[in-house]
Structure 1
């Protein structure tokens, strides 16, 4: 393909990707309610004459010349959204173009990444003799870390060598991501009458535990992600003003680095507080990719920088090295009047293609 043909192809793909993003915005696709956006993604593959498969609300395809003897690269992003917050001043489901911005729920997180990756996959779909197979997966339930999204799909995919996960990073290279533990804790006391010296107040026991949590620092600090972060985010106790409560529950949000396993973190916390500790899951592990990996080096060669991401994505369920990278800005995610710059879509497609051209 000549340079002129490549430019024309990228322009056409950008136009199609932008149109798809507007259609996706116009369809409510809250987590577990992504049926219609999955159908729109199917239509994109049909228009490009690319065979695809669907499992619940996950849609995926593989390159035309797939060769099981070659390593496989996964391109992944999600098409579910959070619900719009009350501060929206625009219709979240009306794609509005203004001042080189496209407004709409999911435009930035992660619609821009998704359509850019779909366009990139279409660009490489029928290329012969690539060093990697390529699988594109548009998945559901990312915003709630659901089990019927990428996690459900992974057993259906070929073994993965590495992955690019599309999340808004301004096309910079998030080479590490914190894992997530949510711990439900219960401090146990003894009930009694508040007017007399009776009982053992579970609230006071919980306070002692919480004080430890606010001051403790795990000794090992990640060079990329920094320290593990502990935050008590919910607390509940008591039913009547005159009864000393016998239980107090509180929830800890723990952002875990690659320096510790999730089990090690749980064990350390349980050994140092009196409350019982129950993890909601141990699925959402820290993730990373070596800085000397070819895809990271390809991004660095284009002038990008690496960093560690504090937020959690579908990388958490992958068992292969993964890079988080995509158009858009993380600070716009879940915000009122969410938007993505129109030029960011074009830059995302061009950026992904330039990175992949160096390794395939």
Structure 2
């Protein structure tokens, strides 16, 4: 694949094939089987890594107990809820459209292209392991199980970062809560306490908290995002309950006890009942850390600019960072397009990503 035309054709055909295989979280089996056959047929050593409480394992290529570099990409996508043709890739104006094209089957296709060019013999002489994980878009059980067992020297999680090196990642506090009011006839406003109004006031107070108003130079401000909200049962009755599901962005540098204390103080003042659905800490990797410098060198060799960034979303890098590995997030594609019907990735970005991954693999 020395010629650009050959590489483009390889990447186009491979990404179209990857998109055509449905792999929402919990249904990664068909894609896993395809990839296992693809790597085995090319002579790469492959192993399945069981994931507790999940129907499918992770897939490891050139598995090592303590690789110097672990490169991970997830197999799953979000469900195809509002996507008109999630598994029928469309090429338009040099871009490939389809569910998972940016997050993260495009990055996976580029990594596979790089491995095709490097070959199994060269990979076998390296200290790199490739991990294709399950469940990233759901509970992250694939990465969590692997991080407990494997202690890599550094981790690269492939995600759509527009070729910026994500050295900081926001944490997540996901909360399900319910606010209780007092019912009354809808016209006798003064006699009731409207739980929906209370919920709106609670959201505003949460958004004004110091930990949320704080700003990180690479990520921006914290955030309080209502994901679901339900209140009221029928017309002409003041609603006496309102249920919310919140996703709260937790910035690196803010202690857990500080942000959790601020949030719980607001919830208590409103008499809310709540449960924490997920709590994942943020992390930040120094710019001088080995994986950052290795990626920077690979970008320069590929003729691309070196730019640092922050990842506002949880990724498979988090559990490895939690267990002490320097971690970065990097890849082709635009995060804002992921999970939308307009999700796509430019073919030229895949070609550039191959060059970066080849350089990285050959230097590791």
Q: TM-score range by the shorter chain?
A: 0.7 to 0.9
1:268 CA drift (Å): 1.1
Match 1:117 to one of 104, 111, 118? 111
For 1:151, the equivalent position in structure 2 comes to 144
Q: Does structure 2 retain, via aligned residues, the 8 Å contact 1:145–1:314?
A: no
1:317 CA drift (Å): 3.2
Q: Distance in 2 between matches of 1:23 and 1:347?
A: 20
Q: Does structure 1 retain, via aligned residues, the 8 Å contact 2:203–2:224?
A: no
Q: How does 1:61-72 map to 2 (within 5 A)?
A: 61-63=60-62, 66=64, 71-72=67-68
Do residues 253 (structure 1) and 247 (structure 2) align?
A: yes
Q: Does structure 1 retain, via aligned residues, the 8 Å contact 2:174–2:248?
A: yes
Distance change >3 Å, CA 304–CA 237, structure 1 → 2 = same
Q: How does 1:1-360 map to 2 (within 5 A)?
A: 8=2, 18-54=12-48, 55=50, 56-63=55-62, 66=64, 71-84=67-80, 86=82, 88=84, 91-121=85-115, 123=118, 125-127=120-122, 133-147=127-141, 149-155=142-148, 157-194=149-186, 198-218=191-211, 220-262=214-256, 264-273=258-267, 274=270, 275-282=272-279, 284-301=280-297, 302=300, 303-318=305-320, 319=322, 320-358=325-363, 360=364
Q: Does structure 2 retain, via aligned residues, the 8 Å contact 1:270–1:277?
A: no
1:256 CA drift (Å): 0.9
Q: Which moved more, 1:11-20 or 1:341-350?
A: 11-20
Q: Does structure 2 retain, via aligned residues, the 8 Å contact 1:217–1:227?
A: no
Q: How many residues align?
A: 344
Q: Does structure 1 retain, via aligned residues, the 8 Å contact 2:72–2:133?
A: yes
Q: Distance in 1 between matches of 2:236 and 2:93?
A: 60
Distance change >3 Å, CA 24–CA 223, structure 1 → 2 = same
Question: How does the TM-score come out when normalised to structure 2?
Answer: 0.81
Secondary structure of the equivalent of 2:151? coil
Q: Does structure 2 retain, via aligned residues, the 8 Å contact 1:234–1:252?
A: yes
1:146 CA drift (Å): 4.5
Q: Distance in 1 between matches of 2:25 and 2:112?
A: 20
Q: Does structure 1 retain, via aligned residues, the 8 Å contact 2:128–2:361?
A: no
Distance change >3 Å, CA 165–CA 192, structure 1 → 2 = same
Q: Distance in 1 between matches of 2:341 and 2:237?
A: 43
Q: Distance in 2 between matches of 1:266 and 1:252?
A: 14
1:261 CA drift (Å): 4.3
Q: Distance in 1 between matches of 2:258 and 2:152?
A: 27
Q: Distance in 2 between matches of 1:325 and 1:74?
A: 13
Q: Distance in 1 between matches of 2:283 and 2:216?
A: 12
Deviations 1:240-260 (A, max 9, x none): 444444432223221111122
1:212 CA drift (Å): 1.3
Q: Which moved more, 1:229-238 or 1:119-128?
A: 119-128
Q: Which moved more, 1:323-332 or 1:231-240?
A: 231-240
Q: Does structure 2 retain, via aligned residues, the 8 Å contact 1:118–1:136?
A: no
Q: CA RMSD in A?
A: 3.2
Q: Does structure 2 retain, via aligned residues, the 8 Å contact 1:34–1:140?
A: yes
Q: Does structure 1 retain, via aligned residues, the 8 Å contact 2:177–2:274?
A: yes
Structure 2 unmatched ranges of 5 or more: none
